Amino acid sequence: MGAWFTSLVDMIVRMTCVPRRFNSGKWHNIQVYKEIFMLNLGLPVAIFDMDGTLIDSMPTWRTLNTSFLARHSLPATPELLEELDLHTMPGIARVLIETFSLSMTVEEIVAENYQYMDQQYDHLGEKPGAHAYLDALRAAGVRMAVATYTPLPMALHALQAQGMLDYFAWVTTPEVEGIRKTDPAFFRALAQKMAVAPEEIVVYEDTPAVLYAAKESGAKAAAIAESVWQDHWPEMQKKCDIAIKDYRDLLAQNPKT
């Protein structure tokens, strides 16, 4: 099939925003090649994780324990840091209290760490190209939301500090929904909240287990590269519908931006 025909059909699709697909070298009705080049795969809803997906905050989260120990002049041995990495925030607090006989309560340590992290969001940057990609999705009429592990008040502050909050219809967390983010039911519940089928959603996320849960729910999965998960990147590339290191890669591939 001639290049002129390819260009003509591509132009028609761009004008009509019809989903595109190209299989085994054959055209299927008006659907055409390079589905991945469409913004949000041509789907109407996008759900974003926040840390490591929209905001480049994972390095700060990863050094949260080291920062706490330094503030309190406590030794940060490799063995202790490895132990702390195995726990949730309350669990970390309990280990610290037991190890150093601290007079602080679990609640006080958790609150101090959250306050410290909340302050850091005022100085952190976005993941490369995030703002530009959100702009493009909004211009294309894609509805967007955020689903994050970060406590809701802190997440709202973080997104506001980045100038991102107004892009999203709502922000939620597993705690708010009462469902683990690694459970496919989490994304089915969010689909119901957005009044669409899971198959009409693209989930943007850096955590492998969450991406695979999104896939199992029926949603499309867009893997965002994050150094903490670099050992999982080859598998993420195979299992996800999109795998990128920079949102600008998607913008460069999309002929409408």
Three-class secondary structure assignment of 124-158:
CCECCCHHHHHHHHHHCCCEEEEECCCCHHHHHHH
- 171: β partners: 146
pLDDT band of 111, cuts 50, 70, 90: very high
Residues 137-195 have pLDDT tens digits of: 999 999 999 999 999 999 999 999 999 999 999 999 999 999 999 999 999 999 999 99
Task: Determine contact, residues 96/105, Cβ cutoff 8 Å.
Answer: no
- Spatial separation of the C-alpha atoms in residues 67 and 119, rounded to whole Å: 13
Tokens for 179? Answer: 């469902």
List CB contacts of 193: < 8 A, sequence separation 6 or more: 145, 170, 172
- Spatial separation of the C-alpha atoms in residues 2 and 222, rounded to whole Å: 32
Selection from 90, 126, 86, 121 nearest residue 108 by Cα: 90
Q: Which amino acid is at 229?
A: W
Is the pLDDT reported for residue 9 higher than 70?
no
Burial class (CB in 10 A: 0-12, 13-18, 19+), 234: exposed
pLDDT band of 249, cuts 50, 70, 90: confident
What pLDDT is recorded for position 157? 96
- Spatial separation of the C-alpha atoms in residues 128 and 248, rounded to whole Å: 7
- 222: β partners: 204, 242
Task: Determine contact, residues 127/247, Cβ cutoff 8 Å.
Answer: yes
What pLDDT is recorded for position 2? 44
Cα angle 99-103-106, degrees, rounded to a multiple of 5: 75
Task: Determine contact, residues 126/54, Cβ cutoff 8 Å.
Answer: yes
- Spatial separation of the C-alpha atoms in residues 246 and 223, rounded to whole Å: 10
Mean pLDDT of 23-27: 34
Is the pLDDT reported for residue 119 higher than 70?
yes
Tokens for 168? Answer: 């999203």
Fold entry, domain 39-57+126-253: Rossmann fold (3.40.50)
pTM score of the predicted model: 0.81
171: helix, strand or coil: strand
- Spatial separation of the C-alpha atoms in residues 88 and 72, rounded to whole Å: 20
Task: Determine contact, residues 144/47, Cβ cutoff 8 Å.
Answer: yes
